[in-house]
A = this chain, B = another copy of it.
């Protein structure tokens, strides 16, 4: 399977583990570090695929859990796969569905063979096995698939996390055996909760299976920032240097920059798009909350200098008005802006790595999440 994906490291930051790379898939290249917009149900909420590509994104993530339940994999397969179904021509990464099973669904039981859960849509019972997760992703036709992992909530006891690491490893072996479709790369996933030694064990065991890339799961789920970074650091040092690493589910700018400095290449998160729908715009000066009354007569753009249509065509006052009357165009425009913000952040990262100033970039963004633009 490794042949379906190549990863070249193009440059490194001399003071951190950050690197700029190029992920070459059969459907095109992805320059890393990269943020993947999340197309939860086969669409990046409110955005047309050509708009997502127009911002500059080269790869998106789609959720196997949602597509498996609605519209079902048969419909997608018949349409010629997920790319044809949703009109996205570039690479697609699918998750295994595991995270949603463990976080969204009333999980009935984790068994040796998989996990029994009820659909969040209609309560129907399903049994997701490592083999089924692989088969569904093969039928969806994504370019990068993920093995089913056993997720635990935070905090979890050492015993629980040990069990999760072992189950995840066993499922990874089974996933590899089940994976037969060429042209699709299957990534392993490492777990280990908030225990650095279990993080190390998971990285060692999983990387011994020689996956073409690795997802790092179970972080940013409530543990302190320093614990997360320590866990990442431990795993980054163990995972093979020449394979891409995807930090699953992290999208806050400060955390993302730290993770890049620890050698992470790929990111995805619903945070920027979810915040957009609550009226919050990400700007370099901080988070701008359009629900605040002070924007009612603020005729400036969301962010000076931002090239997105929300900023070049509309004012804060207008977007606040639209948000207040729950007009879809507000959700669209803020989603567009926040995605454009994320793309620019990643461009800055790549430039900083090339210039050997990743640490400076991290310092510049320190405290961002507590700031508000004037």
Contact = CB atoms under 8 A, between A and B. Distances in A.
Interface in A319-354: 320-322, 324-325, 327-329, 331-333
Nearest to A87: B313
Interface stretch (A10-18, A42-50, A98-106): A42-50
B329 A75 contact: no
A41 B327 contact: yes
A23 to B, nearest CB: 26
A329 B85 CA distance: 14
A94 B41 CA distance: 38
A297 to B, nearest CB: 6
Nearest to A42: B321
Interface in A61-105: 66, 70-71, 74-75, 78-79, 85-87
Interface string A193-217: 0000000000000000000000000
Contact of A86 (B49, B78, B318): B318
A1 interface: no
Given A46-B332, A296-B71, A79 B315 contact: yes
A296 B85 CA distance: 12
A329 to B, nearest CB: 5
B43 A322 contact: yes
B332 A70 contact: no
A76 B43 CA distance: 34
A309 interface: yes
Nearest to A336: B48
B325 A332 contact: no
Contacts of A309: 48, 50
Contacts of A314: 87
Contact of A43 (B74, B86, B327): B327
Contact of A71 (B78, B321, B331): B321
Interface in A24-65: 41-43, 45-50
Nearest to A324: B70
A41 B317 CA distance: 13
A299 interface: yes
Contacts of A296: 71, 75
A133 B324 CA distance: 24
A372 B317 CA distance: 43
B313 A49 contact: yes
A332 to B, nearest CB: 7
Most buried by B among A49, A317, A321, A332: A321
A164 B322 CA distance: 34
Contacts of A322: 41-43
Most buried by B among A45, A296, A329: A329
B329 A47 contact: yes
B78 A297 contact: yes
A85 B315 contact: yes
27 contacts: A41-B322, A42-B318, A42-B322, A42-B327, A43-B327, A45-B328, A46-B332, A47-B329, A48-B329, A48-B332, A49-B313, A50-B309, A50-B313, A66-B325, A70-B325, A75-B297, A75-B317, A79-B299, A79-B315, A79-B317, A85-B318, A86-B318, A87-B314, A87-B318, A328-B328, A328-B331, A328-B332
